[in-house]
Structure 1
Amino acid sequence: MTPPEAPVQGQVGRGTDTPPAVSVCTILRKRSDFLRAAQARRQGMPGFLLQARKRATDEADPAAIRVGFTCSRKLGPAVARNRAKRRLREIARQILPTHGRPGWDYVLVGRPGATATRDFAAMRGDLVCALGRIHGDAK
């Protein structure tokens, strides 16, 4: 039995006509990066807390937007934490390429009872608003 062929670059799965989104953000993985972001600017929103910092020019990849996600056990069992992180990842994937700034690290921290249940469109608006406040574009 031969394995099925992998889709050719450009083909889209699940019968949709829209191409898959390409993320321009890299993921924060080191604890030290999260700790540095925690000491910098913060903006609380109803669905999450945004922490952001401008990286020094000598740090790795000064032109990239880096993002990290944190959901503690206060959010509930693993199912609730995973759902909250999925939602945070998706709003970051949609909003940060257009509203984020290169050379910045962003950390989205989930809030108990709000991140997993808040309206998704409202969370997207919250992230746009939080980024505007962090960068001084407040209305």
Structure 2
Amino acid sequence: MARRADFLAANRGRRAPMPGFVLLVRERGDGDPAMRYGITVTKKIGGAVIRNRMKRRFRVLARELLPALGVAGADHVLIGREGGIERDFALLRGELTKALGKIMTRPADQPRDPGRRKSPRPPQQPGR
């Protein structure tokens, strides 16, 4: 996956948070059985060297586990978390396996409405 719109669409799908990453999975519903994956690591995780190392690790995990355990016809997104770079590779593999298992048993989340507020804003008094 390369387009920002695909990543934003995946954010409306199912999620499985783990200590080293967050896995997002969204069925595309376009009839194409191909699995796609994307990886994102923000700058707050670290510099370019750290982010690229984390992305390489996630790429290897995705290529290894998604063909067997992933959801056919879905987009999979791995979002790196701060503790992910120090975690043992075997531990990350186990967490991704667990996350994919959770995704398969969990119903799709309700779409989020970004315009909806949790609580109404109090009315402003004129002149203040």
TMscore range, shorter length: 0.7 to 0.9
Taking the aligned partners of 1:51 and 1:104, their CA distance within structure 2 comes to 10
- Paired positions, count: 106
Aligned to 1:74: 44
Aligned partner of residue 76 in structure 1, secondary structure: coil
Indicate whether 1:93 and 2:56 are aligned.
no
Aligned partner of residue 86 in structure 2, secondary structure: coil
Aligned partner of residue 43 in structure 1, secondary structure: strand
Structure 2: which amino acid aligns with 1:98?
A: A
Taking the aligned partners of 1:92 and 1:107, their CA distance within structure 2 comes to 10
Taking the aligned partners of 1:40 and 1:63, their CA distance within structure 2 comes to 17
Indicate whether 1:43 and 2:13 are aligned.
no
Q: Which runs of at least 4 in structure 1 moved beyond 3 Å after TM superposition?
A: none
Indicate whether 1:115 and 2:88 are aligned.
no
Q: Which has the higher contact order (CA 8 A, sep 6+)?
A: 2
Q: CA RMSD in A?
A: 1.1
Aligned to 1:129: 98
Aligned to 1:33: 6
Aligned partner of residue 36 in structure 1, secondary structure: helix
Taking the aligned partners of 1:42 and 1:29, their CA distance within structure 2 comes to 20
Taking the aligned partners of 1:86 and 1:127, their CA distance within structure 2 comes to 15
Taking the aligned partners of 2:5 and 2:96, their CA distance within structure 1 comes to 24
TM-score by length of 1: 0.73
Identity %: 48
Structure 2: which amino acid aligns with 1:40?
A: G
Aligned partner of residue 42 in structure 1, secondary structure: strand
Aligned partner of residue 37 in structure 2, secondary structure: strand
Alignment gaps of 5+ in structure 2: 107-128
Alignment gaps of 5+ in structure 1: 1-27
